Structure 1
């Protein structure tokens, strides 16, 4: 996931790894909010590496609803372990204006020949799988406040790991409707629950779609959040 943010500054890769990675990644592309990087049923011809902005994976149901199955933040790879050339089981849409690069299948094969780079791809897939399991537990076993708290903690932890937080503040662009699509709650329920979390002194809204966590331990306890599913095994 966030493992590919600021790739060139990683100290677990040798200069040759970084050179090869840079030579096999396509140019930076930009799309507007709401644009699709891929749609359900398409064949996955390349991996999308998020440089800046947020995107999501979602599925459209028969009733027209579009539950969000995962979020893509800077440093994330769009593949989700499904594999190149397979048909996508989800669509990928930009939540904000988005900057990303692509890695085609030939380039991916060359990158996988580098053990340290391959380890990052495997770790990204492992973390993605662990977060998917956490989302299932979050929706099935927690109340509304707990679900929201867990989501806020996860997004903060991922942003922090990518170096994108400052004194408890981080970019959180999701609307109440999008939070509803993530957590299986109504917009009214989301609004009321966020209000309760604020009144407990755990978070506050800031300018430019940012949230500040005022009490990390309290918020993590409310959401039963644990870092384990975001960590890489040594």
Structure 2
């Protein structure tokens, strides 16, 4: 297997401000590190108290992981499920030249269990974009969890449908929207995804991604990303201070992006 060619990484925050030293993202909601996962799954299938306890028990598998750590290499067969408890991770494809295309974000409550379930190689790489807390759950323990808790298994199945719908929406974003519309759509999507796990307050949420991360997500150059952000600021749609994004006019931003939230909801295929 070819070793991916490293690329230069822009260290500054998307606001273009001074470099902020990497810091480990806090576990969600203090004494309930499993809260993001439970809240996400509960939105797809109502969980019992026993289900929630089982999710809390996964805390024993959680470890801090540094920024830009490869979690699973492309073409490898993971023997575990990976669950994000804090921070941002990504799925990406990389060309021989070293250029990457980010094809998905994994935010708190998201997971990758394809290897644990099926034992097939992944066709992409999983890597952290920020410092994270990640649970690495061995296959046997993960399958036992699903067997003992059918509601969790059902919720995860529905979550996969949403993941597939999101991937299709990203294809549309790259193929049919302008740079400004792409950014607007992504920011609306993140507000919905993070809001569903209680990490959005009054239209504000943490956006710890670099301009390079956003460029590799949206199929733009980092210079173009900067220009797009300036347009959204100038038009009074967003403000961005360090890592804190504030969507000032959510209705107008959704209209600009033609954002429809249905694809992020359970039961939407």
Q: Answer whether TM exceeds 0.5 for this pair.
A: yes
Structure 1 residues 89-134: Cα deviation after superposition (integer angstroms, max 9, x where no partner) = 1111111111011222212222222221111110111111010000
Structure 1 residues 39-64: Cα deviation after superposition (integer angstroms, max 9, x where no partner) = 11111211111111011011111221
2:167 matches 1:132: yes
State which drifts further: 54-63 or 209-218: 54-63
2:189 matches 1:151: no
2:226 maps to which of 171, 176, 191 = 191
Q: 2:216 maps to what in 1?
A: 181
Q: 2:64 maps to what in 1?
A: 30
Q: 1:5 maps to what in 2?
A: 36
Q: Please state how far the C-alpha of 1:203 moved relative to its aligned partner.
A: 0.1
Task: Measure the CA separation in 2 of the matches of 1:160 and 1:74.
Answer: 11
1:50 maps to which of 84, 88, 96 = 84
Task: Measure the CA separation in 1 of the matches of 2:156 and 2:37.
Answer: 15
The alignment's C-alpha RMSD in Å is: 2.3
Structure 2 unaligned regions, length at least 5: 1-33
Task: Measure the CA separation in 1 of the matches of 2:167 and 2:114.
Answer: 10
Task: Measure the CA separation in 2 of the matches of 1:219 and 1:49.
Answer: 31
* Superposed counterparts of 1:1-234, under 5 Å: 5-7=36-38, 10=42, 12-23=46-57, 26-79=60-113, 83-113=117-147, 114-207=149-242, 209-233=243-267
Counterparts in 2 of 1:84 and 1:45: CA distance versus 1, 3 Å? farther
- Report how many residues are paired: 231
Task: Measure the CA separation in 1 of the matches of 2:39 and 2:221.
Answer: 42
Task: Measure the CA separation in 1 of the matches of 2:87 and 2:56.
Answer: 20
Structure 1 residues 50-96: Cα deviation after superposition (integer angstroms, max 9, x where no partner) = 11101101111122101101001001012369944211111111111
Q: Please state how far the C-alpha of 1:137 moved relative to its aligned partner.
A: 0.3
After TM superposition, the score normalised by the length of structure 1 is 0.91
